[in-house]
A and B are shown apart, each in its own frame.
Chain A
Amino acid sequence: RRLRTCWDNMAFTLYSLIQAAILCVNAVAVLHEERFLTKIGWGVDQSVGGFGDEPGIKVQLMNLVRSVRTVMRVPLIAVNSVCIVLLLLFG
């Protein structure tokens, strides 16, 4: 329809933002500590930097991944279940 062709490439609704956010957080949540992160050198025990020195980007990123995994583990279960049910019901 006319509305879609004009706005196809740039129309963001808030729903698409929520979808993108859920997908990104899911992607961060499936990074396993032992099996994957330590193998590529992003494990938690490898993030001890020098004291008195500000942590670099890699350390900050590892801390961020670890915090997101710890904090969002339980809410993601609920949000994903709700999403699955809604998509099954309403397509």
Chain B
Amino acid sequence: CNLAHHRTGRAAPPAGDSVLFEDTSSAAPAMNNQGYYTPGYNMGGTSNDMQGGAGVNNLFTDPMANAAMMYGSSLANQGKDMVNKEISRFMSVNKLKYFFAVDTRYVLKKLMILMFPYTHQDWEVRYHRDTPLTPRQDVNAPDLYIPTMAFITYILLAGMALGIQKRFSPEVLGLCASTALVWIIIEVLVMLLSLYLLTVHSDLSTFDLIAYSGYKYVGMIFTVLCGLLFGSDGYFVALAWSSCALMFFIVRSLKMKILPSLSSDSMGMGSSAKPQLRLYITVATAVFQPIIIYWLTSHLVR
């Protein structure tokens, strides 16, 4: 019954369906299985073909232009593939995309934690089958959106502060930006070197370190704003507040990743200096933050 209809349909259109299948027997694929789908598809297909054909004929009457456009688009695709390949040799773009997968709720909560981390309870970065969760789903995950935006805002704020003091010129803006960038690079390199020397097998990648190092710009912006609004006293109060908050944040965040878990039994008697050194690294990183905040913002608030 039905099978017989299907088999004869593939060879030649059956008599009952000839109205539906006659025009597009060459274009449409397995039409017999999807009974009510095919009429719309076939008619849409034929009308699209005719419209597309008419449009192509109208736009490219010159086959040379058509060939040139296709050659150009294939060249552009090749160039794009080559650029992607070269870039992905240095850094994986997928890993970078993970750090920018944020949403508004995450940004607000993270900014609040950066400024007031004392009430935040759970500092663990949650995993989902061996891959860390994106910042959208886990508020403890580091991201690169806040540091980037905070860096740019800091540069603009520095320009504004210098303009208030009538010391502004466009070169100063570039100088401030490159100074801050150099300090980030130095800090990340020192962190990487110390993590390598102490053979800390953590999953902190370079981007993670850049993220944690860039969180201090939020504190810097807050400090500079208070210094501009409330004068020198407000500057020092805000400096103290954001330093303490940032130190607490860094210590709690890095403690999970750098220091060994308490249940590691093999490290118990062999190297008792190791946990101490790791603690020193964490504390040194935390203490470095207020120093660099003061160093980079004191000249803006006189």
Contacts and interface: CB of A to CB of B under 8 A. Distances in A.
A17 B186 CA distance: 9
Interface stretch (A30-38, A53-61, A73-81): A53-61
Contacts of A64: 196-197
B199 interface: yes
A11 interface: yes
Contacts, number: 48
Interface residue SS majority, chain B: helix
Contact of B183 (A6, A12, A53, A60): A12
B120 interface: no
A61 B199 CA distance: 11
B178 A14 contact: yes
A88 interface: no
B293 to A, nearest CB: 13
Interface string B181-206: 11101100000000011110000000
Interface residue SS majority, chain A: helix
Interface residue range, chain A: 10 to 19
B171 A3 contact: yes
Contact of B182 (A6, A12, A56): A12
B299 interface: yes
A7 B300 CA distance: 11
A64 to B, nearest CB: 7
A65 to B, nearest CB: 12
Contacts of A53: 270-271
Contacts of B199: 54-55, 60
